[in-house]
Structure 1
Amino acid sequence: MVKLFEPLALRGVVLKNRIVVSPMCQYSAEDGFANDWHLVHLGSRAVGGASLIIQEATAVSPEGRISPEDLGIWKDEHVPMLQRINAFIAAQGSVPGVQLAHAGRKASTYRPWSGEGMVPESDGGWPVVGPSDTAFNDNYPVPTALDAAGIQKVIADFRAAAQRALTAGFKLIELHAAHGYLLHEFLSPLSNQRTDAYGGSFENRVRLLLEVVAATREVWPEDLPLIVRLSVTDWTEGGWNADESVQLSALLKTRGVDLIDCSTGGNVPKAPIPVGPGYQVQFAERIKEETGMLTGAVGLITTPAEAETIVASGQADLVLLAREFLREPYFPLFAAQDLGVEVAWPAQYERAKPRMVSAAGQR
């Protein structure tokens, strides 16, 4: 049996295989609105056989965007195009998901091909917020520390975004608590120097994420999955670490979270990250072993053999691919061929499907 192509049930949603499109920012929206680029980008990966398509970091508020060109879900007008995209994804047999996000102190920055660092207000930027008033880097904006009212607005924004996500036809929500964005900023003592109920101790630093989870679950149906992306470690002494991620994952399991998407880094510039094939799989394996939580592995997974090994060995329950899906939208179809698994191709493409070779060598 090839584990990579076994289905996986998450509450009332069944993924047809364990290959997931990881959320990848396209920086191609205007005022948060999805457009034909997003339809083709996301839709082609559904045609390519991925079981779950997680839409890129989608801002729960205008100030929560990473760049002025980020997707948004902060107003009802964003919903119709998202409905169109999700209907197409579902028609291909894939599950439409969305990553809800707030960029925090890493907001109001240029998209990668337009510049670096802070976008000034004169060029479409905006004031940013964070747990404390410490900037991510010298060329990033200095945030205003959120007060009590600001924190409650963040929670309310996530809740409202989850409600719109349901209306838009998404069947899975991922809360973005990784890569140095707002929820991760609260988790890490390197970015959170607060002395109130949201800073200091582990219990205080995880409070905002737990409150966002609770608010999301208030409006997100019981039969639909909720997952969380964590940066399991900051890769920096004194920062958020794997021990704390294990402890947090155990808490999230009791709060209605169904899977931890295990990434790392992003909260410290120039952190010493040992990047290489499968370098983050160890964290998915540890959280799975120590908490019993389902996990997803992400990070430079590029071949069918690597993906199969990860899920077949029990290191993670699914794999999330990003750059490899940019290179090959039809990765699952060709992975099945490589691993000797018969899967359906879209009827429109059936004439191009490679024929499986039997043991006797007959086509």
Structure 2
Amino acid sequence: MAACPHRTLPAPRAMIPVGRRFVAEGSIVVIGAGFAGAATAWWLRRAGADRVIILERETVPGAHASGKNAGIARQPVLHASTALLTARGTAFLRRPPDGFCEGSLFNETGGYLATADPKDRRLDLLHRAALAAGVYTYEAERSEVVERLPLLDGAPFVRALASPTDGVVDIHLLLTSYLRGISLRTGTLVEGFRRKGTRITALETSRGLLEASAVVNAAGAWAADVAASAGAAPIRIEPRRRHLLHTGPLPGLSAAMPYAWLYDPEVYFRAESGGLLLSPCDEDHQPPGSPATHPDASLWLARRLKTAAPRMVGLPVARAWAELRCFSPDGAFVVGRDPNLSNFYWASGLAGHGMTASSAVGELAASLVLGSDPPIDPAPYDPGRFAAG
């Protein structure tokens, strides 16, 4: 439905049955055209919702973390609830539905997570969470890691966890595939909400008034601001900056090279465009927006590589940039209906795993909006878990 400025809202529309309950006929409005919002809209359409609109504040979709991330589909993660979604999301990326995209979406490179501290138990936690999610990982011998990743010859790691079904994703192809056929309004700010009791009836936007049967908050770094404007639960979603750097072309690198994620100190790298894409895994609080690239980002990387992978010291840096990853208070995803509003849903706080888990997040969020059976237990992601706090 087109936005209608300065227009009096009509009487409520007829109700149509969807799933086990009723949803008012009208637009399901998704706020944010990053991976969470785009995937939710795609799943809503796939489930039969014919009035789905995405509102995006920027002039293009994926202008922030969804278009700036490293594209690593990493399934082993520390939160068991997150691992369920990264596993389910990666299964979608590996074998998307027929007609979903044109071209190769997923390159199954595998990856290694390694630690230099013999007392660091994170690899055990990663292995257990992956196992519970049905993802195969195993403890790799040092010789295997160095054979696959000669750049780690001489690195001080003492243990490594292999995750052979991880890979690298074409993030731009993924986002455009989710958005194909979806009604998208770019350059549109959400300026306010109209409510009747605990129900949102319309959104006030920079392009006029838009009636809504349901609202999905997939606004990334702006999620808490959107929620506050709507009168939703005050869940803190904290944006944290992280830098990525690219070396430019280097000799002898293959796109089939597995990624490496090193701890103590934390740094990761993978092959990209004939060179290496790396991150010093820095983290600092930033306001919503496009974070500035810190002038010392390459120095931070060099210091970490000196300890974690000495053979990589002195790599050139052709380009550096920063993105924002968004975290809930407990670090787990926030997906589900708001405890204060009956038709306001969250798809936020994805902690840097939004690309990997996007399909699973969208599938779960769409099922909750439509009142259909969720694909997994939604309780660990329920926004209501913060109500007592």
| TM-score, normalised via structure 1 length | 0.28
Ranked by relative contact order (alpha carbons within 8 Å, sequence separation 6 or more), the top structure is 2
Judging by fraction of residues, say which structure has more helix.
Answer: 1
For the pair shown, the structure with the greater C-alpha radius of gyration is 2
| TM-score, normalised via structure 2 length | 0.27
Judging by fraction of residues, say which structure has more strand.
Answer: 2
